[in-house]
Structure 1
């Protein structure tokens, strides 16, 4: 179906759609996402061939934005799928293949496999690209990398990127600034662990700080949030990835993902990932136990698979105090390292292929050294202060919300 160009018919169709599908994310939430403001961006799509970089979090009311916009006659030519795929059917780190979406018949191009951004040939098939993905506000969460890559493709092709902004559930700023000598797929930008920006704000920073190759500029149109501030609690309506399947896991993620650089399990291979911590070697130190198993679509070969792990149950942990301070929790890292019986194995990646690089996750080699040296939390945090101060000053230029 071709896009209706007659304004009165278009607005009539939109009004009917909005009444059925633009339900609030929660009854208590005053926030209106960019995607929900269809009247703000639908006119820019008239008569254009559209690409959409989206996943299962890209919703309008109770429908995926691809399905919603296609039903309005938007000419969607390509869907670009990031890590975990378009409909969230791939495990962490799994390569995602190109396919045809069975529901819409639209080709899906994977950006998490052989390539990480749209090619010139793919960009030639569209006039505009929409980016609508829920981020969780962490440096090591890969969707900000996907954003930068999409901006580069748009800049090179001279195409506009429309960002449908969404709230950041971890809207505070904390952690060491990435040492760019440690740049990797889990850290591409000189920012702290929690950057305190929405995806729209971060896109402005990418442009403003010249983080696209050859300092190219991407033409941006950001559909901003309504009724949003960075200090608001925001409950995600859809899990952003298979192992962030509860609100508690999303809020704990900035603190617990650091443990991927240790021999301590973060609960991958259970139905409570990123809400528990433990290791078989901590038997006798902690009473709480869990046993990781292979779970299809979540974690098929987790750390300590089929081994009983002893550690911490954080599912009911009250995060209000830390969130009020705007801090990630590093006490758990300090305490579990202290309790671990063989200290030289705690960060040793030769223990398991499932272990990540703690230096790349933390963004600095100093953090591991501080933990091993038994430094106090206050001293560790003090070492972050100069970098955080500079970052916060830089960040101010790109904020769209108080």
Structure 2
């Protein structure tokens, strides 16, 4: 049974790492195994030294559905302390927000994917804290998709954004605490930094192995399996297909109003063959909001059958290639602004390169995709090795 960082604050040697006046960056999934929130837990140990709360994208209470929907600062009606949004007028803590703070404690449930913005929020906060002499302490949590399997293209310099700040692949196989070490050691963030490590977490573990409760880390990830499919299906945010937002199984289903699912699956089976570790099931779904709201879509539901062997990123790129070929002129790349980037396509920001989009459009082979994926991977492995905390 994995013991998270927040659950180790009853150890004095760990609590001593949290010095002076404190701010806590957290969200609704910041709970212990008994569902007690980290604000309550930290407050019980340090009392009035807890001065401020910060919330990431989707808000401190994790109620905001879509990207680029901002949250505001407020005074918490129960805890009676300020809650500052790091997804509002700013995504970087201001001098005023950190005034009087000695330690920023970070307790966020990440999902192990580069584009998931909590690691960007962490590293932007680390850079600001370095300027102001504020210590950063991460209360570590499991990477729900494990710490071994690595997938996806390495982010290229020209596609750096809030959904990708450093040269890392889509599925990076690090915990939040390790990502902080990765950024500090490899990208010169000179901040006082510490991690309250987990006990009994190993790199080979998936979420179910940890025996921890699953709370949505963001509104559209209702299941642990969704965190694994998200590694790949997030790419469909870069298209005008529905990735299931507005349904009960968002980011596990993908489709379009013009798709007849059974005939489409026949093409998938012919062109791709069986997907190791998962089954594509033909399905229809009816989004209640976001893309194709109020319209029935046909497509596939991705059912994970083996967490250790399923390569979500590869499977979703192959699926995107099949949607592109099947829909023809009805297939469109998303051309709206994406995470405050207005001059680049969302698909290229998500993939961290434009090479994968060109691969889809040219009906490229699996071998071609794997060659694209391997570019820069050796450097990433060497940088990551220096940041790992767990075996």
Residue 320 (structure 2) pairs with residue 333 (structure 1): yes
Counterparts of 1:237 and 1:317, CA distance in 2: 17
1:282–1:341 contact (8 Å) kept in structure 2? no
Counterparts of 2:313 and 2:96, CA distance in 1: 44
2:171–2:231 contact (8 Å) kept in structure 1? yes
**1:143-292 alignment runs, 5 A limit:** 143-170=118-145, 171=147, 172-210=149-187, 215-235=188-208, 237-283=214-260, 285-286=263-264, 288-292=283-287
Greater C-alpha radius of gyration? 1
Distance change >3 Å, CA 110–CA 348, structure 1 → 2: closer
Matched residue, 2:56: 82
Shift of 1:204: 0.8
Matched residue, 1:42: 15
Shift of 1:154: 1.2
| Structure 1, unaligned runs of 5 or more | 1-29, 295-301
Counterparts of 1:52 and 1:90, CA distance in 2: 20
Pick from 44, 54, 60: which aligns with 2:26? 54
Distance change >3 Å, CA 95–CA 254, structure 1 → 2: same
3-state DSSP of counterpart to 1:337: helix
3-state DSSP of counterpart to 1:148: helix
Counterparts of 1:320 and 1:127, CA distance in 2: 41
Shift of 1:238: 1.4
Instruction: Please tell me the root mean square deviation across aligned C-alpha atoms, in Å.
Output: 2.3
Distance change >3 Å, CA 192–CA 292, structure 1 → 2: same
Counterparts of 2:127 and 2:134, CA distance in 1: 10
2:104–2:136 contact (8 Å) kept in structure 1? yes
**1:125-140 alignment runs, 5 A limit:** 125-140=100-115
Shift of 1:356: 6.2
| Structure 2, unaligned runs of 5 or more | 265-281
TM-score of the aligned structures, taking structure 2 as reference length: 0.85
Counterparts of 2:334 and 2:116, CA distance in 1: 23
1:173–1:326 contact (8 Å) kept in structure 2? no
Distance change >3 Å, CA 319–CA 255, structure 1 → 2: farther
Matched residue, 2:348: 359
2:138–2:195 contact (8 Å) kept in structure 1? yes
Deviates more, 1:166-175 or 1:284-293: 284-293
Pick from 87, 95, 100: which aligns with 2:70? 95
Counterparts of 1:202 and 1:57, CA distance in 2: 19
Q: How many residues are aligned here?
A: 357
Matched residue, 1:347: 333
3-state DSSP of counterpart to 1:120: coil
Matched residue, 1:388: 377
Matched residue, 1:71: 44
Shift of 1:156: 0.8
Alignment deviations for residues 118-142 of structure 1 (CA, whole Å, 9 cap, x no partner): 2222222212110110111111100
Shift of 1:166: 0.8
TM-score of the aligned structures, taking structure 1 as reference length: 0.83
Shift of 1:49: 1.3
Counterparts of 2:88 and 2:335, CA distance in 1: 24
Alignment deviations for residues 39-60 of structure 1 (CA, whole Å, 9 cap, x no partner): 14323446x2111011112112
Distance change >3 Å, CA 328–CA 229, structure 1 → 2: farther
Counterparts of 1:310 and 1:158, CA distance in 2: 53
1:289–1:310 contact (8 Å) kept in structure 2? yes
